[in-house]
Amino acid sequence: MAHNWDDLRLFLAVAREQSLSGAGKVLRLDPATLGRRVARLEKTLQVGLFVKSPQGYALTEAGVQLMERAEVAERAMRLATSEVAVESEHLTGQIRIGAPDGCANFLLPQVCAQIVANNPDLDIQIVALPRIFNLSRREADMAIGVSAPTAGRLVVQKITDYQLHLAASETYLAARAPVHHLADLKDHRLVGYIPDMIFDRELDYLAELGGARVPMASNSVSVQVNMIRQGGGIGVVHDFSLGFAPGVRRILTDKFGLKRAFYLIRHEDDQRNLRLSRFAHALSTGLRAEVARIEALN
C-alpha cells in the first residue's frame, strides 16, 4: 500500500483519466513528472499498477485493487476535510461546479458572487461545458444538469423549473414578415442547437416545432442568444437570459412555451460531506430565488 495520501491522489488521477496528460491537466502537473511519480510508486510497492500502451494507461489487477483502497482513503480524506471546514462559520477552500453554459452564463455568476460575498475564504470554479460531467472521475465536486441521470452512484435533487419561449430582436422583426402564428415561422430563419451536438434530449427545443431547418446554429446557449440579438433569426431562449439581451423580446408566448428543470447532481459518497452539503444548499436556494426573480420581470 502507498505510504502517503499524495501518492494515492496522483495514482487515482491517472487511473481515472487513463493517461498522464489527462491526469496532468487535472492535477496541474507536468506529465513527465507525473510519470516519474507513478514509476516510483510502482517501485515502492514492487508491483505494476498500469499497462502502458499508445492508447493510454490501463489498470492491472493490482492497480484495480489499489484503486478500490485508494477510493476508500479519498472518501475518508474528503470527509475529514469537510468536518474541519465546517467548524468555522464560513465555507472555505475550493469548490468546482459543472454546469450547462446557459446556467453558467446567465445565473451562476450572480448566485456564486453572493455566496462568495458571504464566505470570503471560499474559491468557486464554474466549468461551463455543453455536456454531462463525470463526477465519478471528479471532474467537478457537483454538477447542474437539465435532466436527472439514472445511472451511476449519484444523488439527484431538483432545484427549480424554468421557462423558455421563442424570441427575436426588434430589428429582425421590423425587417421581416409578421409572425402571428407558429406556421409563420416557415418564412423565417431559425436559431438553435447543432443537431448532432445536442447532448441531452431536453435541449432539443425545436423538435417541438417539427424539427425545422436551422440556418444559424451553435452548441452554446449564450452564442445562440447573441445570434438572435444580432438579428440572426428567431430562436428558443431561456426567459432568464433576456435581461442579458437588450433589444430581444419574446414572441408567440400564448402559442408556444416550454418548461424545463435544473437538477443538482452529486456523487453518492459526498452525502456525508458537510461542507459540500452546506454549499449545495446555498447554491440551490440561490438559483431558485434568481430564476424566480428574473422570470417575474418578463
pLDDT, residue 29, reads 85
Domain boundaries 162-259, CATH class: alpha beta
Question: What residues contact residue 243 under an 8 Å CB cut-off, 6+ apart?
Answer: 294, 297
- Residue 101, pLDDT above cutoff 60: yes
Predicted pLDDT of residue 211: 63
Domain boundaries of the chain, sorted by first residue:
5-82, 93-160+261-297, 162-259
Q: Is the pLDDT of residue 297 over 60?
A: yes
CATH superfamily of 93-160+261-297: Periplasmic binding protein-like II (3.40.190.10)
Hey, do 5-82 and 93-160+261-297 end up sharing a CATH topology, with the first three levels equal? no
Give the model's pLDDT for residue 164. 94
Mean pLDDT of the chain: 85
Is-above-0.85 flag for pTM? no
What is the per-residue pLDDT for 180? 93
Local confidence band at 79 (pLDDT 50, 70, 90 cut-offs)? low
From the list 199, 258, 254, 209, the residue with the least C-alpha distance to 234 is 209
| Mean pLDDT value across residues 197-225 | 80
Say yes or no to pLDDT of 271 above 90. Answer: no
pLDDT of 144 over the 90 cut: yes
User: Checking DSSP bridges between strand 190-192 and strand 234-238, what pairing results, if any?
Assistant: parallel
Residue 133 has pLDDT above 70, yes or no: no
Whether the predicted pLDDT of 3 surpasses 60? no
Residue 204 backbone phi and psi in degrees, to 5: -85, 65
- Options 3.20.20.70, 3.40.50.300, 1.10.10.10, 1.10.3720.10; which CATH number does 5-82 get? 1.10.10.10
| Amino acid 86: pLDDT | 47
Q: What is the mean pLDDT of residues 108-137?
A: 82
Q: What is the pLDDT of residues 116-127, one digit of tens each?
A: 999 999 999 998
Distances (CA, A) of 187 to 65, 84, 141, 233, 289: 62, 61, 46, 11, 38
Question: 46-55, 105-114, 269-278 — which is least confidently predicted?
Answer: 269-278
Quickly tell me which residue has 475518508 as its cell. 76
**What does the pLDDT read at residue 2?**
41
Compare 116 and 56 and report the one with higher pLDDT. 116
Nearest to 285 by CA among 262, 259, 260: 262
Mean pLDDT of 271-285: 87
What pLDDT score does 292 carry? 92
Sequence-distant (≥ 6) Cβ neighbours of residue 244 within 8 angstroms: 105, 106, 225
In angstroms, the CA 64 to CA 62 distance is 5
CB under 8 Å to 126, separation ≥6 — which residues? Answer: 96, 97, 99, 104, 108, 109, 112
